[in-house]
Structure 1
Amino acid sequence: MPNSYRSILFKSPPKFILLPFNARKNGKLSVSLKVTKNRKRKYIKTGLAASPEQWDEEQDRFVSNKKLEPQYKDYNALLSEIEAKAISILRDFEFKKIDWTLNQFEDAFLNHAKKGKINDYFENLITTLKETNHVGNAECYSKTLHILKLFDKKFDSKIFQEIDIKYIKAFDVFLQKRDCAGNTRKYYFKALRAVLNKAIQDKEALESTYPFGKGGFNVAALEEETIKRYLPMDCMENIKSTIMENPILEFTRRLFLFSYYCYGISFIDMALLTKKNIIRYNGGDYIVYKRNKTKEAKKVKAIQIKITPEIQSHLDWFAQNAILIEEYLVPIISRSGYQGEQLYNHIRSRFGRNNKNLKKLAKQLNITELTLTSYVSRHTMAMTLQDNQVPREIISQILGHNDLSTTNTYLD
């Protein structure tokens, strides 16, 4: 906002200055907001610093010279947003006819600033997600917050404006030094980007320092091609035809096959299936469900799986040979009354145990081509559909993917 226009609005408009004391080691001075009332002044630091050569006193902004300050546009945009907040507070005082003091202004202004602490926003978001049973997302954000705190010991005090492109690049270097693969780094950056996007929507963060926009940090470029995790058909036939004498391994084998016949249904979605998910339609019975991973996304469609003789035979076996809790179709959940985070953690525990048992099953069946996990059933079904000439677009719909690029990582 031009100085002349601010002067029309206020007798003593807020102004940015370089504080002439407490210079930094590099000689730069703190850029501070000066507020004047009744010839008394209050100085509030912006977190920015400049040398006298980088500062335009007339415009109270950084000089428009990339050689002197490469980020002058971003810094000036930030100063304009800070100035707008200050003027908004003063207008509010005027509207409410408050004969404000400098301390009142500072309190109002700093309460604005408190909203900008990214750690507080992260923690509040995680709590909300847990309370609304979005435990998977809460877990993702918790892991991301943990790794950010390992990277930055002062993360608790960081404000959103400090999470700029320079900060993001430094975080990426930190992850690489920890031998994090591209897909792992992508996992963390997608979560951080989602938090920043939501904070901007909630007016808690500013767009001027957003690091993932046009010309910013490219999260998609981190993606690495996933190693194909499908079984050769002879190994799959071996699993289908070999009944295990060990009851735990037989149970594990049937869980794997049930997932496979249900078009690679994930372990958590399989665990949460109840009798309510069985729908009578067009003379047949169908399992109808929404993926736990994407159920809250806009316009997500339910997945419909016709209950074939193979699926029904496994449902019958589970009912006859295992204890089914409450209305669940598959004996994964073994405690009644669990909900929210407790239920999620219980399923994750069973998931880990199941993968250990799958390794034992693979050893018994002499499957050495890959590590047998619950994900392998999903990848193998995708390849089976492709071998049966099912178009990739249809395979993508069957698997419940939002876009074809995800499906392509499953297929040759």
Structure 2
Amino acid sequence: MATVKLFHFKNKILKDGTSPIHLQVIHKRKRRWFTSGISVKPEDWDPIEKQIINYPKNEKKNFRKKNYHLKNLLIKAEGIIIDLESSERPYTADDVIAKLKGVDSALFAAFTDRIIKEFQKQKRYGNANIYNSAKNAFLKRINKTEISFDEINYRLLKKFETNLINEGVSINGISVYMRTIRALYNRAIKEKVAKKENYPFEEYKIKHSKTHKRALKKEEINKIRDVDLKQKPAQEKARDFFMFSFYCMGMAFVDVAYLKVANVMNGRLHYSRQKTSQLYNFELVPPALELIKKYSDLKNPEDYIFPIIDPDHPNPHKCYNLQIGLNNKCLKAIQNHLELPLKLTTYVARHSWATIAKRSGIPTAVISEGLGHTTEKTTQIYLDSFENSVLDKANKIITL
């Protein structure tokens, strides 16, 4: 439980020779201060009784008001803490200060930090990094270290957007930040620490532009599959991980990295997606099973299947981040060797699976399920646009 007390900063001397009195709030080893707006000389402050003394008789009424103000401030802070404790929701010393200032909502940075810690405990490190980046980017561009949710309005979001545009951040890059802030605001409303009537995303609409082509054709995927890389073991591994992702409905590289022997049961793959915790259970196609057997004897359930994360590394996610960078460098070398039409990264396998599935006549709803998207709208972003010739042919069928 947080504690509060009045504190006289006697070492800070103002121009009139007085020193300020602040309210000190301590919670979970975090110390915060709230100014009372009152200052007195050291000899006029009783550090035991926490009140002003030695005031002139002709100013007795004025000093009594000051003591009453200080006492009332202390009582108000204690009441806020009791209310926060009664809510049984996590809170910070900053939340107490915010409520003393009359801000009746959670503080954005403190709230975000709590969500980040939740992600880290769940080992959803990618989400944690995205939320941390969005928080830091937002506070930096609006020139604040903290802000309440109720203070985040249309004007502030536009200011953030304008600053990012001026810095050359892409529309889709801005979209990632804004969607993260929107998700945080929605979470705060659900937890009843932000007001629904102040929700700024009714007015502010998040923009996004069409992504560059990141999908290969089936024959290009086959070229990657068939290229001889026996003399280049690092590139061979990168190719194998890429193909495994493609064989497993565009499985994200992070999920490939964290797969363990225990996830393989009776020729099926059972795993929980790192990003969303969504459960998957599907039959492994023969080439995917061949790749698993190439890298694992499938004996120890706790072993990683693929040699991406070092099991002895103290920080698996740091190890993963290093490996994905090296993996993409190898994929770029393969791209150059095969003269592929786009930059080859781990994500291309995911986009390619989705686009090839669409071109094969698979309904978007089924593709969406395979990718683990909650809406078909998200899936549509992954799907490469059909060539003009395909649209021309379709139009002739419809109109002629």
- Same fold? TM cut 0.5: yes
Q: Distance in 2 between matches of 1:164 and 1:346?
A: 39
232-241 or 373-382: bigger deviation: 232-241
SS in 2 for 1:345: helix
What's the CA shift for 1:126?
Answer: 2.3
179 and 105 in structure 1: CA distance in 2 versus 1, 3 angstrom threshold: same
Partner of 1:136: 126
Tell me the alpha carbon deviations over residues 96-136 of structure 1, each in whole angstroms, 9 at most, x when there is no partner. Answer: xxxx9523344346653476432222223323432343322
In the alignment, is the contact (CA less than 8 A) between 2:124 and 2:275 conserved in 1?
A: no
1:288 corresponds to 2:275:
no
- TM-aligned CA distance change 1:136 to 1:393, over 3 Å: same
Residue 154 of structure 1 and its aligned partner are, at CA, apart by 2.5
Aligned equivalents of 1:202, 1:304: Cα separation in 2: 32
Alignment of 1:189-228 (within 5 A): 189-213=178-202, 216-219=203-206, 222-228=207-213
Counterpart CA distance in 1 for 2:185 and 2:276 is 20
* 2:310–2:316 CA contact under 8 A, matched in 1: no
**CA contact 1:252–1:358 (8 Å) conserved in 2:** yes
- In the alignment, which of 141, 150, 173 is matched to residue 151 of structure 1? 141
Return the TM-score normalized by structure 2: 0.67
Q: Does 1:305 align with 2:282?
A: yes
- Deviation by residue 1:341-366 (Cα, 9 ceiling, x = unmatched): x3222212211111111001111222
Relative to structure 1, the CA distance from residue 101 to residue 190 in structure 2 (aligned partners, 3 Å threshold; closer, same or farther) is: same
In the aligned structure 1, how far is the partner of 2:150 from the partner of 2:367? 43
- 2:389 is the alignment partner of 1:389: no
State the partner residue of 2:296.
319
Match of 2:311 in 1: 335
Corresponding residue of 2:325: 352
Residue 112 of structure 2 is matched in structure 1 by 122
Letter in 2 for 1:193: R
1:228/1:410 contact within 8 Å kept = no
Cα pair 2:247 2:288 within 8 Å, conserved: yes
Q: Percent identity among equivalent residues?
A: 27
Using the alignment, how far apart are the partners of 2:367 and 2:141 within structure 1?
40
SS at match of 1:292: coil
Which residue of structure 2 lines up, in the alignment, with residue 363 of structure 1? 336
2:162 aligned with 1:173: yes
Report the counterpart of residue 242 of structure 1 in structure 2.
227
| 1:2-81 paired onto structure 2 within 5 Å | none
| Alignment deviations for residues 267-291 of structure 1 (CA, whole Å, 9 cap, x no partner) | 00111111221122xxxx1112232
The SS at the match of 1:120 is helix
Q: 1:399, 1:116 → 2: CA distance?
A: 34
| Residue 104 of structure 1: aligned partner | 74
Shift of 1:383: 2.6
Aligned partners of 1:122, 1:142: CA distance in 2, in Å? 8
* 1:319-339 deviation per Cα after TM superposition (whole angstroms, max 9, x unaligned): 38xxx995211221123365x
Q: What letter matches 1:154 in structure 2?
A: K
Query: What TM-score comes out, normalization by structure 1 length?
Result: 0.65
Describe the SS at the equivalent of 1:390. Answer: coil
Deviations along 1:251-282, whole A, 9 cap, x unmatched?
A: 111111111111211100111111221122xx
Alpha-carbon distance in structure 2 between the residues aligned to 1:402 and 1:250: 34
Separation in 1 of the partners of 2:184 and 2:305? 36
Greater relative contact order (Cα < 8 A, sep 6+): 1
Q: CA RMSD in A?
A: 2.8
Structure 1 residues 311 and 189: alpha-carbon distance in aligned structure 2, compared to 1, 3 A threshold: same
For residues 392 and 121 of structure 1, what CA distance do their matches in structure 2 show?
A: 36
CA distance in 2, matches of 1:376, 1:180: 22
Matched, 1:251 2:228: no
Structure 1 residue 371 displacement after superposition: 0.2
Letter in 1 for 2:228: I
User: Does the 8 A contact of 1:261 with 1:311 survive in 2?
Assistant: yes
Contact 1:288/1:305 (CA < 8 Å) preserved in 2? yes
- Preserved contact between residue 153 and residue 199 of structure 2 (Cα < 8 Å): yes
* Greater Cα offset, 399-408 or 260-269: 399-408
Contact 1:269 1:292 in 2 (8 A): yes
Give 2:92's aligned residue: none
Tell me how far apart the structure 1 counterparts of residues 359 and 109 of structure 2 sit (CA, whole Å).
Answer: 48
Q: 2:260–2:301: 8 Å Cα contact kept in structure 1?
A: no
Distance change (3 Å), C-alpha of 1:151 and 1:372: same
Pick aligned residue for 1:398 from 370, 377, 381: 370
Contact 1:315 1:329 in 2 (8 A): yes
Distance in 1 (alpha carbons) for counterparts of 2:189 and 2:355: 41
Distance 1:325 1:348, change over 3 A: farther
Cα pair distance change 1:237/1:118, threshold 3 Å: closer
Query: What is the CA-CA distance between 1:372 and the residue it aligns to?
Result: 0.5
User: In 2, Cα distance between the equivalents of 1:409 and 1:229?
Assistant: 11
How far off its partner does 1:182 sit?
1.7
C-alpha distance in 1 between matches for 2:114 and 2:339:
49
Q: Deviations over 1:158-177 (max 9, x none)?
A: 33332122111111111111
